[in-house]
Structure 1
């Protein structure tokens, strides 16, 4: 595996460390983040997406997604940075 460190949450303290890497060999993004609270986890687990099983396996905390999804990540960042509630 060829991991390349990209960045860490600038507000990180000693124990908190949401982090982004790239697996250059597999061409995948690798994320480390916080586990959701129970309410959010239940909402995500109940979310139905065609072709995807409902629920979140208990062992999923660090996820990998293909780098080709980068535009979706950018879009999500744009959404959370908006201040006009669009």
Structure 2
């Protein structure tokens, strides 16, 4: 498995910080971030197009806005038109 590190929260304190990687084999983004609180998760459940609760094994994560450039970089790394 070949996973590429893309970036870490620029305001990191080096302890459990939001991080982004890409898997070029599957073209998946891998994201470590903060688990959303119960109120946010309930709001997401209520707005789900399938009107189904978030299934076991999945969760809602909150990615700080300051990480948008890192997510763009990760998407560009996987976009064949940008490579």
Q: Under a length normalisation based on structure 1, what TM-score does the superposition of the two structures give?
A: 0.59
Listed as ranges, the gaps of 5+ residues in structure 2 are: 62-70, 73-83
Deviating beyond 4 angstroms after TM superposition, the runs of 4 or more aligned structure 1 residues are none
Listed as ranges, the gaps of 5+ residues in structure 1 are: 64-72, 75-86
CA RMSD of aligned residues (A): 2.5
Going from structure 1 to structure 2, the CA distance change for 1:57 and 1:15 (only over 3 Å counts) comes to farther
Structure with higher RCO (Cα < 8 A, 6+ apart): 2
Q: Under a length normalisation based on structure 2, what TM-score does the superposition of the two structures give?
A: 0.61
Note the 1:40-79 alignment, pairs <5 A.
Answer: 40-49=40-49, 52=50, 54-61=52-59
